[in-house]
Chains A and B, each alone.
Chain A
Amino acid sequence: MMLEFLLDPASLVPPVFTEYYSDEDDDGSILPLLLLLSGPAFAVFVYLRYRNTDKRHRHEVETHATLHDVRAVDTKVRSLSNLSNSRMKGANHTEVRANRRSIF
């Protein structure tokens, strides 16, 4: 059917959509643009709520583990100023890689 594309969520989340949420401080001016994505956003929401393709065992936090003899080295390299991002570029300390399921 004509509206079938609405159910192919892979095509529904333009990168701009997630970026707006992650980094920039929302000053309200993009709200009208976001509202123009209401239809696709609704389809994605229903898809995930019913099909739960985003769910998995969160092994990285749900597995018991203890640290012992922790040795820490922290050496200041230099000061940086006037950075435009609120987060460090390339930060990966919360990454999960042993992830077998794909959401869509």
Chain B
Amino acid sequence: MTQLAAGDDAVPATSDAPKVVQTDLGAKDGLTKCQRCGSTEIALNVATGMLRCAFCRHEQSSENAHEAFDLRGDIGDLAGLVVGSGSSDISESTEVVLTFKCSACGAEVVVDTAHSTQARCHWCRNTLSVNAQMPNGAVPDMILPFSVTKEEAMRHIDEFVKKRTFFAHPAFKREFNASNVMGVYLPYMVVDVNAHALLTGQGEHETARRTTGEGKDERTVYDADLFDVEREFDIHIDDLTIESSSERLDQRTGHNTNNIINSIMPFDVENAVRYDSNFLSDFTSERRDSNVEQLGPAVLEQAKDIARHRAIDTLAHYDRGVRWDNEDIEIKGQRWLAAYLPVWLYSHYEQKGGGRSLLHYVAVNGRTGETMGSVPLHKGRVALGAVVAQVIGTAASIGLMVTMS
């Protein structure tokens, strides 16, 4: 069921005012109790993807997010900017650390939404959840539950690291223990784009190649036909996914290893479900801190890359390549949803010389099991290996030059 924000009528109907789809209707903060026994011990059963009560084992399924928000519609029909209410702009004044009154015992319970949207009451041990959205980026529109178990993730990490031990830093090898892996829900924006593209430029098609000259002057030359090339099309981009935390967006490999987490995309975001904080028990989360407006340019740039690469299929004739001189991409409609996506993270903190340090990750996609990592190097050993390779290479080079002359 589509529900537009109640405040919509108050906003003047300008074309660039975003249309907000309310995604937390009926969401309640506080104690969320098992429908059957009333316990608050509810957590994800990774095997089934459903929420399970720890006491009576009752399982409840969650509604697919795209269906719940009626966002299955054709991307070609998208016009203007549509955002889920969980993607709305973050207001600096909204607290990140929230205080609730436990409705079971009356005590005050603190929820630090930077790391989770749940906390346990210290007095009565009940779990309190934050499910209603507030403008601090902590409650997204949807969540994609882990389907890769911790044991599977550990196996992937073990395998990955085992292949990279000889040149690994001794401290990394000494401390390595895959069971320290943590399940983290990281914040992303998932964007559907309806765009119109017009690419103009020139392309070349090879017509002949032959060898000219003799001896030392022998070389290959080519003949080609030069064409003016134009491609115009509509493009429907489905679930473009981008990090929505400024820390994770920073992927300068000299400073961090966030490119590792970036590389384990894509996720099957079409299977994300309506947000429920109970998915976060046993896991942690990171809060979104970037807004649609800030992420817009990066999404446009990615959309251009996607359009350019989809156009390659139409350029088979130009075996020597195409040079686009103009690329006009007009975004006609776009739809943004905030999502928590599941990542298993193994971290290693490398202390480098000069007070510098680097946090290395081995990351496992919590849905597909795709694994990538950064392993710190034993520099002395790599240098030694390089010297050995150089000696062998130089000897082979001299040998070749002697036989050739």
Q: Given the interface contacts A74-B228, A88-B323, does A94 sit within 8 Å of B233 by beta carbon? A: no
CA distance A39 to B253 in the complex (A): 23
Checking A66, A74, A97 against B305 with a beta-carbon cut-off of 8 angstroms, the contacting residue is A97
Q: Which residues of B contact A37 (CB under 8 A)?
A: 393
B219 to chain A, nearest CB (A): 7
Q: Which residues of B contact A4 (CB under 8 A)?
A: 379, 383
Of the candidate stretches B10-18, B88-96, B254-262, the one touching chain A is B254-262
Prevailing SS type, chain B contact patch:
mixed
Checking A52, A83, A101 against B373 with a beta-carbon cut-off of 8 angstroms, the contacting residue is A52
With an 8 A cutoff between CB atoms, is B330 at the interface?
no
CA distance A51 to B352 in the complex (A): 15
Shortest Cβ-Cβ A-B pairs, 9 listed: A38-B393, A91-B321, A39-B390, A98-B301, A42-B389, A88-B321, A35-B397, A3-B383, A73-B230
Whether B226 contacts A78 by the Cβ 8 Å rule is yes
B196 to chain A, nearest CB (A): 9
| A38 to B, closest residue via Cβ | B393
Whether A42 contacts B385 by the Cβ 8 Å rule is yes
Q: Which residues of B contact A104 (CB under 8 A)?
A: 253-254
Residues 12-53 of chain A, each 1 if its beta carbon lies under 8 Å from chain B, else 0: 000000000000010001011101111111110011011111
Whether A52 contacts B389 by the Cβ 8 Å rule is no
| B264 to A, closest residue via Cβ | A57
CA distance A55 to B308 in the complex (A): 21
Whether A68 contacts B233 by the Cβ 8 Å rule is yes
Q: Which residues of A contact B389 (CB under 8 A)?
A: 38-39, 41-42
A70 to chain B, nearest CB (A): 4
Q: Which residues of A contact B250 (CB under 8 A)?
A: 100
Q: Which residues of A contact B202 (CB under 8 A)?
A: 77
B273 to chain A, nearest CB (A): 20
Most buried by B among A25, A49, A51: A51
Checking A56, A77, A83, A101 against B252 with a beta-carbon cut-off of 8 angstroms, the contacting residue is A101
CA distance A38 to B76 in the complex (A): 53
With an 8 A cutoff between CB atoms, is B171 at the interface?
no
Q: Which residues of A contact B236 (CB under 8 A)?
A: 65-66, 68
Q: Which residues of A contact B35 (CB under 8 A)?
A: none
Q: Which residues of B contact A11 (CB under 8 A)?
A: none
Checking A69, A90, A98 against B304 with a beta-carbon cut-off of 8 angstroms, the contacting residue is A98
CA distance A97 to B234 in the complex (A): 21
Residues 357-389 of chain B, each 1 if its beta carbon lies under 8 Å from chain A, else 0: 000000000000000111111011011111101
CA distance A38 to B394 in the complex (A): 8
List B294-309 residues whose CB lies under 8 Å from chain A. Answer: 298, 301-302, 304-309
Most buried by A among B311, B376, B389: B389
Checking B239, B375, B397 against A63 with a beta-carbon cut-off of 8 angstroms, the contacting residue is B239
CA distance A69 to B82 in the complex (A): 24
Q: Which residues of B contact A93 (CB under 8 A)?
A: 201, 203, 308, 311-312, 315, 318, 321-324
Whether B204 contacts A88 by the Cβ 8 Å rule is yes
Whether B232 contacts A70 by the Cβ 8 Å rule is yes
With an 8 A cutoff between CB atoms, is B38 at the interface?
no
| A39 to B, closest residue via Cβ | B390
Q: Given the interface contacts A32-B401, A46-B167, A101-B262, does A64 sit within 8 Å of B312 by beta carbon? A: no
CA distance A91 to B323 in the complex (A): 4
Q: Which residues of A contact B310 (CB under 8 A)?
A: 65, 67
Q: Given the interface contacts A70-B233, A92-B323, A98-B302, does A38 sit within 8 Å of B390 by beta carbon? A: yes
Q: Which residues of A contact B212 (CB under 8 A)?
A: 82
Whether A74 contacts B262 by the Cβ 8 Å rule is no
List B221-245 residues whose CB lies under 8 Å from chain A. Answer: 221-241
Most buried by A among B250, B252, B382: B382
Q: Which residues of A contact B263 (CB under 8 A)?
A: 52, 55-57
Q: Which residues of B contact A1 (CB under 8 A)?
A: 379-380, 383
* Given A38-B396, A100-B298, 20 extra CB contacts under 8 A: A31-B400, A40-B390, A43-B385, A52-B372, A52-B373, A55-B262, A56-B263, A57-B262, A59-B265, A59-B306, A63-B239, A74-B228, A74-B229, A84-B219, A86-B320, A88-B321, A88-B323, A91-B323, A92-B324, A93-B318
| B320 to A, closest residue via Cβ | A88
Whether B301 contacts A71 by the Cβ 8 Å rule is no
List B145-177 residues whose CB lies under 8 Å from chain A. Answer: 164, 167-168
CA distance A68 to B76 in the complex (A): 9
With an 8 A cutoff between CB atoms, is B392 at the interface?
yes
Q: Given the interface contacts A42-B389, A64-B237, A102-B253, does A81 sit within 8 Å of B302 by beta carbon? A: no
